[in-house]
Structure 1
């Protein structure tokens, strides 16, 4: 292949998953080229809320995914500490926990189901009456009937995380190629040997590597993968509102209809919609109105905050809503995609697993349910 320098690994996609994989590989002294079609962190990662919620999300997840999310949450503080040391900046990681709040009888019934599900899985949850909620967050609505405190759910600022990851990757010698779009994986003798990239001026270049990792989110298409992809990753649209002003709350606060996420700099995030709209990234007035109304019902003071922006992202989802992590049928090609609503949380453990596969090391068996070949097994059963 005539493409100049060969890298140990080419990572396609520079969102939180791709950047985390590059960071982990570089720590293990692999040479890495990151290719991104826009700019690093420009996709779904930069518009994520940043909730690290392995406990709250467990109600609607299969046990293997919950176990992986809980593992990720336990390892996150160590990951953050080392990353901030290398990157030289804060990721704004916070561990106050999450409050689930009931504003009416229907909410109470839904929270009762959540509490029962968490108890069934032996996950920590504390039931609070209205006075207990008000003591923790006095600016929440006086209509609050009670709720739950979930101490195992934390948060991080995805934009700060992306910034620190980029700094760390550069500090460790990682290379970036962006904007550049990967047209396809190049295979030779049954093995991935690089990628064909297209620059903004339309010129193509073949870039060689010992192994290729696709961390391309919702853009993990058969066009790139060719015969290596008997499955589909689809985009799921999410809209998120950003406000700014005086700090009103410390905890992430949820109702069944909305969540609000406070940042230390006075930003307040309101989210998020879940829409099957293909690759449409247009903000919609109705969705924004619903988010603002639900937020006002939960946190009346949000009415007086400055309106900053509406962000739209595309979550990558598989048919079973479980991620694709690991090797494909094409030797030398690995996937790290389909994380849906858990991308920020699962990025560090995904990176560790991919780096283990690249090195030929033994793999944590907790990743077995998420290898791409599981799709083949289901389809041929």
Structure 2
């Protein structure tokens, strides 16, 4: 009897597996000699976006309290992550955001009102994903990660120069979809960057109850993906680390897992009471490490921030906030026929039948209401 054994598939060899591990300390640039080597125009541009981002968060939070949005997950305190993520994308790249990443979506070029449409409770996504190369805001945790990998893999098979950037929170790293996406990306060397914004809490669950790993970036080695730990409140460090990861993916180096250490200053959403699970002292500790303040301090110390530059940045932010107040102050007028649009490229017979039936019912109601006046 002859026993036929399958030849073992070749496995990639890693000369030194420690190259996949993050450093003992997060990457920092502010306060180091490296800060002086970064282009001043880029630094000022990041500052303007940080100022706009902080104003965006405050304005949308206020509008939510006024009932103009159904819910708003703020990124106050995380603006360096949001700004850095949007800034590293090329026009051909794709952003895969979560429900908390509205600021990154806006900075990607999507109209702020369209960005917030989903959170208002209006129809569908609110923007054309293909036009902006921004996937829909993802409310279920981590389900967009396999999509990001799949799109990047498909683009590479077609020969397209595309890198996908998947944004997730620390809570999403506890979901199966996240790990499946990492494995898929590593096996197929997908040009995808996973950017974890570790803001310490998945709603009320602290990181210590989610993982015993030294860091979330350490999880990459289990899949053969390099992990990088970065100070998420240092916008220069975030921009530098993500730029390197995007360039590595674009050059065929495969995926990277980046973890940014940051903090959610506001509650999880306007429906959350954060005082039930964290202390005022903890919040105050992180407020001293505010990303906007950190960059402003650097700009002043280096003479790159004068009163005119600061005024222009804040004026632009106020103009954006005023536009939001005006446009979000108008109640949306939903069209019932939107229930049937954009569901299929070609409507099914059942959908056409339902649309015809609803249109007839609405017409009858309108005629009845008109006759009663």
Same fold, TM exceeding 0.5? Answer: no
Q: Kindly name which structure, 1 or 2, has the bigger radius of gyration based on alpha carbons.
A: 2
Structure richer in strand, relative to its length: 1
| Greater helix share, structure number | 2
TM-score (norm: length of structure 1): 0.22
